[in-house]
Chain A
Amino acid sequence: MKRFRRHGHESQRDRLKQELYQFSKTVEHGFPHQPSALGYSPSLQLLAIGTRSGAIKLYGTPGVEFMGLHDENAAVTQVHFMPHQADMVTLLDDNSLHMWTLRRHKGLSELLEIGRFMLMGPPGAPPSVTRVTAVLPHSSGELLLLGTEGGHVFVVEVPGFRELEERNISLDQVSNSVPVDYIGRRNLEHVEALQENPTNPSQVVIGYGRGLMVIWDLENQCAIQHIPATQQLESMWWTEDGSYILSSHSDGSYCRWRVGGQEETEEEEEKEKSDIPYGHFPCKAITKIVQLPTEEGPPFLLFSGGMPRASYGDRHCITVIHSKTHVALDFTSRIIDFFVIRDGLEQTGDPSVLLVLVEEELVVIDLQTEGWPVIQTPYLVPLHSSAITCSQHVSAIPLKLWERIIAVGELQKTHYSKKPWPITGGQNLGPDPPQRDLLLTGHEDGTVRFWDASGVCLYPLYKLSTAAVFHTDADPNDNLNQSAEGEWPPFRKVGCFDPYSDDPRLGIQKIHLCKYSGYLTVAGTAGQILVLELNDEAAEQTVEAKVVDLLQGQEGFRWKGHTQLDVREEPVLFPPGFQPFTLVQCQPPAVVTALNLHSEWKLVAFGTSHGFGLYDYQQKNNVLIKCTLNPSDQLALEGPLSRVKSIKKSLRQSFRRIRRSRVSLRKHHVTNSSKLQEANARLEAELAEMELAPVQRKIEARSSDDSFTGLVRTLYFADTFLSDSSHNTPSLWAGTNGGCVFAYMLRVPAVEHRADEPVTAQPAKEIQLMHRAPVVGVVVLDGHGAPLPEPLEVAHDLARSPDMQGSHHLVVISEEQFKVFTLPKVSSKMKLKLTAVDGSRVRRVGVAWFGSNCKEDYSESGLIFLTNQGDVHVVSLPHVKMQVQYPCIRREDVSGIASCVFTKHGQGFYLISPSEFERFSLSTRFVVEPRCLVEVPLHLDSSNPHRAEPGGATSAHRTTQHSEDAESAARCVMEHALLNDEKVLQEIQKSLEGDQTSFLENNVKHAVA
């Protein structure tokens, strides 16, 4: 009977689950890890970044983002947009070429891979013959010139990737025409660079590794001019008027060559200018050189590298020379690539912005404002400018606080250029974010960064530094712009990536912001807890420090970790923003592992591996100190760096790394064999690995003397029924690593006596979970089974007041189980076992609210949690029933799992690399994902008449397609033509368009295929 009833209930429940939950990874925030290639489309105004893991990311105006991933796990070495099209060619490490396009689908653009290609040499030829080293998308948009390691240039028709063998420029053809004296001395080596003549699309210059440059006529298949440079070639640039070619070389020199001079003239005359800019002593190579004219006045010359090898060989510089201004921009990491955006619709005007992709950040420099200031990027911001150590998400920020944070943030951004963001491609069609969300990240250098996490772009709002409170080793005079007068080269540091922390103790470990009161508490590595208040004015104040002894007289401990931070005694001038007014320092100064703030009661609770405390930040005194230490727990006592353990761990890790690399090597070698074989080989390798190095795990019941049982994992404030079911009182709950929950009853004086009457705490309950798993969360549910609201939430009318008529429940979340207890008498009511059933453990947990996407008024609260297997689950409240489960993070990605934070509305963030957050959503209601449209500018069709021309009969159809990219439009038309059997039409076209027919034919074939 019951079973029948439940059955109906279940299917209803299943339907409800579909309305409430849906999992998707929506957008990646931050800066891509290990970028390896940069591309830019002036016509689309899009920026493309390829990474070493094979990802390709496109960015336009803020909110316009696309992401693609190559199936091959190879690094992207080059990215080129096809001129005037929405197509893009990528070259990977494994020598494969890929064609990507932005296609319109249901009103939005999406990035699709539409073709792949690998150059095939003649049978028996060495692989170097077809190893692509240079790619030139021809301005016609139909041809791709591929220079190879063997010195050949292959011509390939796109988008179909059809080799045009008859147009290939073989090494033999070129060397036959090279003057004898040159060829006699050396062979030409690989094709280093390919450039098209900006004024004559039929001319290209081929630069060979040895230095020889050959201007080749594509139409007539012959060499026009030879430029016999003698230094190893690094890059070439054909000036805009087509009259000069600039070449840069490995010895740090660059040369300017006149184009179109007489074949017979002497070399010395052609070589108009040669220079080693940072000369005299040996210099490093100039890897890229660009020269751009200005309307009036001298051109801009930009080049990367060329630094004197001995003294500045380790700098990553781009030199910009304009008129008398000469600056060597000194970047924070290796330069990947750079380009210049020019004024005007056609991007033919003055250079306006220099955009540099370095390994760890994207730097954009305004070349039109005095001093060439940096432009704040709206996306691609390096999250890891100092390593992220923790994060907190705060949903639905009240407008007032939001505006104040933005205002104080603006004051920090005065050194940025006022120029608007120059990359404006595409339209952001996404709806405005429903609310204002903040993501707070704590960093190793003691800063807390505030990010606008409401939408697709994670935009930096404000940066708080806590280091000013303490004396640190950092030299206060260590100025960033300390360039001395007359220094050569004229360095200027740019970029914000700075992974070197002055003092690791400053690292932020826990953050808690109360969005209603503007109080913030942050806690760090050396047991420091700061309480800060938002102040719109600068203020000079002394921060009162209070030392709290968490050992409480426990004997026989010797703290072997770091010392506590040294507090500045004198008043410190704090800039507008969050200003610290009180400081608690735990003794021993262990890492703060749990933190909570109750702004209504004005209390801060904090915990370390030794115990926890409660601090009254109004009266500035301690209310409670509790030592949770187990006397036999030596590890906790000695400090965070137990040497034995860490060495063992690091050894194990390095062995694993070695093993993994071996496996991947093996994998690499079998790429050519069939899929099945490859899979077999991989399994074989893995199995062999297992047999070689068995990893053992001990099976042992947890006991009370395991290490770190006293570590406080969670702290929670609740106004609930702790002593009897008729009177609710404030309470503090603490959960430890050893499966113990402590509850304290608090007495908080009424508001009018808050300043003078003491706050007291009395121990009320203690629960020792039998299974002893670490307690990672404590939540109290009200009479309706809903989690208690945050402090001040009700006072601000933002939450329904909790049902206080008794029958509250306590949910204790351990790593292994969810248990519901009754209150005030704690007795177990129900539970959900996790680990015992599927072997996974809770790593991160949060309370989230889920709204139905069908019924506007239906919503539920649930617990959202992430396991050590990388799966996200939702558990219902108050019945702790498993609702849904989705794989989210690879289980090996320990740092990703550890970094995960949940929002109150069923979204989450985790680090996919040190510099990137992946955003995911479990909610059907709250999904933040890019929705954008990129259209190919219409005027371009005139430059490619043959594309738009065919099928005049279908012009109406065509105009609707115009808004898509031209390529797919053309194909559509073509298909349409075929379907209507309009061969006649094509015949006419063929006769009309002469030599372009081959392209058309191919395209048709492609479309059929």
Chain B
Amino acid sequence: MVLAAGPKRTEPSRMSRQLPPQQKTPIRLTDTVVEVKSKFEAEYRRFGLKRNGSGGFQEFYRLLQTIHHIHGVDVLLGYADIHGDLLPINNDENFYKAVSSANPLLRIIITKREDEPVVYGTNSLQRRKKGLGLTGLRTTGSGTIHSKSKSGLMIGPPQNFRQISSIIDVDILPETHRRVRLHKHGTKKPLGFYIRDGVSVRVTPQGVEKVPGVFISRLVRGGLAESTGLLAVNDEILEVNGIDVAGKSLDQVTDMMVANSHNLIVTVKPANQRNNVVHRESKNFMGNSGSVGSAGSTGSVLSHESPSPASQSNPITASSSIAEGDSEDEDDDGDIILENDCPTAYNPHLVTKRNSVKLNGESSCSGPHPSAVGRPLPQSMSLPSSIGASLGYSSNTMSGHNGSLASSSQDSMKDDGTELTL
């Protein structure tokens, strides 16, 4: 466990949860205890930390919050390593590294997380999924200088890169096709491509046949599509989010793509067939993605001929953490609902025939709606019950259109975070 060693100003009440009264703790030997000096804004704290304690990063994080009295403030941790570089601490691994490399003092720099872009990566700990915007420092020794120099290089763990695209379903698609997923997420970048009508040549038993097709006609410079390097001009679009575009008009395909723009999956037949996926080959090209590169779906070759430098600087991390199914439903349910409940303005004259009868018995013809039953105050409506309600409701009454069943429960869950009160 973590041991805090004699901080100079301690608040026992705050520490009580994790720490025994520290005043009585004798100072340990230096080889088992690391001296920690942490800085948050202008304040310093000093304390001791057991070098090979089993406590992980999260515990350390909480400890620092306690010590600095900054509960509830989202912060980023960094430490100065022996070279004076400022390195992040955001998981167990680099926490242990930091502790073990303390020589003898471990300098911790705590910065408030400000104006960070919203990040999606998944982590068991929800609060820690955001990116780390630390700037590398060329410090001369003390490592306590923290500046946001713009020229600095961004350093961060792989999970803090934003996934913008991925190649999926390599195992089930023919080699000549490519299924690309574009993640719009919170980026400001436009999707940035144009499509056009064209003629596609198909080989059929009757010979070569010309059929109308839809093609990418232009990529916008700096747009998401261009920056992936996975789509190119004259690539034929075969499917949009799993739906065949054959026989659909250009406008229809346009509307489908726009409607799916939150999570657009296009299956293309690249005009340039030289870079096609060859299964189980050349994983080397995924160099940038380092640790994550999940098998199966990542054996793709980035078009290294691509003139766009962006494709190099935005490695594809192909983490298949999001299952296709749920993201499909999740994609556009972020409807923002502002409720301004004014319970006073209620006119008794206009209430027509409202009885205080239980609903369950009467509404049998159209299925039960238990979500509103026995809940006098809708403002305090508890969410789980509404999920249960809609689930039960839909399974009873739906006549078999796929997809929506799952989505309804998703909807309810998503609404948890979006309710705002004016």
Which residues of A approach B to under 8 Å, CB–CB? Answer: 2, 6, 9-10, 13, 683, 686-687, 690-691, 694-702, 719, 721, 723-730, 745, 747-750, 760, 762-771, 773, 783-786, 801, 803-807, 816-817, 819, 822, 824-833, 835-841, 868-869, 878-882, 891
CB < 8 Å: which of A694, A880, A881 contacts B197? A694
The reply on B155 being an interface residue by CB < 8 A is no
Given contacts A690-B197, A696-B217, A830-B407, contact A770 B366 (CB under 8 A): no
Q: How far is the CB of A712 from chain B (nearest CB, A)?
A: 18
Q: How far is the CB of A20 from chain B (nearest CB, A)?
A: 13
Q: How far is the CB of B165 from chain A (nearest CB, A)?
A: 14
Contact B262 A831 (CB under 8 A): no
B123-157 interface code vs A (CB 8 A; 1 in, 0 out):
00000000000000000000000000000000000
The 3 closest A-B pairs by CB, nearest first: A839-B252, A828-B411, A701-B261
Given contacts A687-B210, A699-B257, contact A804 B194 (CB under 8 A): no
Contact B257 A727 (CB under 8 A): no
Given contacts A697-B254, A835-B259, A879-B399, contact A828 B335 (CB under 8 A): yes
Given contacts A805-B357, A807-B371, contact A694 B196 (CB under 8 A): yes
CA distance A881 to B251 in the complex (A): 25
Contact A697 B194 (CB under 8 A): yes
| Residues on B with beta carbons closer than 8 Å to the beta carbon of A687 | 199, 210, 212
CB < 8 Å: which of B191, B248, B335, B398 contacts A879? B398
Q: What residue in chain B is nearest A832 (Cβ atoms)?
A: B404
Contact A696 B395 (CB under 8 A): no
Contact B407 A700 (CB under 8 A): no
* 9 CB-based A-B contacts, threshold 8 Å: A696-B194, A699-B194, A700-B192, A702-B261, A723-B345, A750-B347, A765-B337, A771-B262, A838-B243
The reply on B27 being an interface residue by CB < 8 A is no
Contact A723 B332 (CB under 8 A): no
CB < 8 Å: which of A763, A829, A881 contacts B411? A829
The reply on B397 being an interface residue by CB < 8 A is yes
Given contacts A690-B212, A745-B345, A828-B333, contact A697 B250 (CB under 8 A): yes
Contact A766 B192 (CB under 8 A): no
Given contacts A702-B258, A724-B341, A827-B415, contact A804 B372 (CB under 8 A): no
Contact B342 A764 (CB under 8 A): yes
Contact A763 B340 (CB under 8 A): yes
Q: What residue in chain B is nearest A836 (Cβ atoms)?
A: B259
Q: How far is the CB of B108 from chain A (nearest CB, A)?
A: 40
CA distance A702 to B184 in the complex (A): 11
Contact B339 A764 (CB under 8 A): yes
| Residues on B with beta carbons closer than 8 Å to the beta carbon of A838 | 243, 248, 252, 256
The reply on B311 being an interface residue by CB < 8 A is no
Q: How far is the CB of A744 from chain B (nearest CB, A)?
A: 10
Contact A726 B252 (CB under 8 A): no
The reply on B115 being an interface residue by CB < 8 A is no
The reply on B73 being an interface residue by CB < 8 A is no
CA distance A822 to B390 in the complex (A): 10
CA distance A13 to B401 in the complex (A): 12
Contact B354 A701 (CB under 8 A): no
Contact A6 B243 (CB under 8 A): no
Q: How far is the CB of A17 from chain B (nearest CB, A)?
A: 10
Q: In the complex, which residues 212-260 of chain B have their Cβ closer than 8 Å to any Cβ of chain A?
A: 212, 217-218, 225, 240-241, 243, 245, 248-260
| Residues on B with beta carbons closer than 8 Å to the beta carbon of A882 | 401
CA distance A6 to B402 in the complex (A): 12
| Residues on A with beta carbons closer than 8 Å to the beta carbon of B105 | none
Contact A836 B354 (CB under 8 A): no
CB < 8 Å: which of A2, A767, A770, A878 contacts B262? A770
Q: What residue in chain A is nearest B261 (Cβ atoms)?
A: A701
Contact B333 A13 (CB under 8 A): no
For the residues of B in contact with A, the DSSP-based class is: mixed
Contact A723 B335 (CB under 8 A): no
Given contacts A9-B400, A690-B212, A839-B252, contact A727 B333 (CB under 8 A): no
Contact B372 A807 (CB under 8 A): yes
Contact B253 A839 (CB under 8 A): yes
CB < 8 Å: which of A747, A830, A840, A868 contacts B404? A830
Q: What residue in chain A is nearest B393 (Cβ atoms)?
A: A829
Contact B354 A830 (CB under 8 A): no
Q: What residue in chain A is nearest B263 (Cβ atoms)?
A: A836
Contact A726 B359 (CB under 8 A): no
Contact A765 B191 (CB under 8 A): no
Given contacts A694-B196, A723-B346, A840-B255, contact A699 B339 (CB under 8 A): no
Other contacts beyond A687-B199, A771-B259, A835-B259: 11, CB < 8 A: A697-B195, A723-B343, A725-B378, A729-B347, A764-B342, A767-B335, A785-B367, A825-B419, A829-B393, A829-B411, A829-B412
Contact A829 B333 (CB under 8 A): no
Q: How far is the CB of B200 from chain A (nearest CB, A)?
A: 10
The reply on B381 being an interface residue by CB < 8 A is yes
The reply on B193 being an interface residue by CB < 8 A is yes
Q: Which of A719, A745, A760, A833 has the most CB of B within 10 A?
A: A833
CA distance A723 to B347 in the complex (A): 12
Q: In the complex, which residues 251-307 of chain B have their Cβ closer than 8 Å to any Cβ of chain A?
A: 251-262
Contact B218 A696 (CB under 8 A): yes
The reply on B386 being an interface residue by CB < 8 A is yes
Contact A690 B199 (CB under 8 A): yes
Contact A837 B212 (CB under 8 A): no
| Residues on B with beta carbons closer than 8 Å to the beta carbon of A698 | 193-194, 254
Contact B407 A767 (CB under 8 A): no
CA distance A23 to B397 in the complex (A): 26
The reply on B323 being an interface residue by CB < 8 A is no
| Residues on A with beta carbons closer than 8 Å to the beta carbon of B261 | 699-702
Q: How far is the CB of B246 from chain A (nearest CB, A)?
A: 12
| Residues on B with beta carbons closer than 8 Å to the beta carbon of A771 | 259, 262, 332
Contact A770 B333 (CB under 8 A): yes
Contact B350 A730 (CB under 8 A): yes
Q: How far is the CB of B208 from chain A (nearest CB, A)?
A: 13
Contact B342 A745 (CB under 8 A): yes
| Residues on B with beta carbons closer than 8 Å to the beta carbon of A827 | 337, 386, 411-412, 415, 419
CB < 8 Å: which of B196, B262, B362, B407 contacts A805? B362
Given contacts A723-B346, A841-B255, contact A806 B359 (CB under 8 A): yes
CA distance A854 to B143 in the complex (A): 85
| Residues on A with beta carbons closer than 8 Å to the beta carbon of B365 | 784
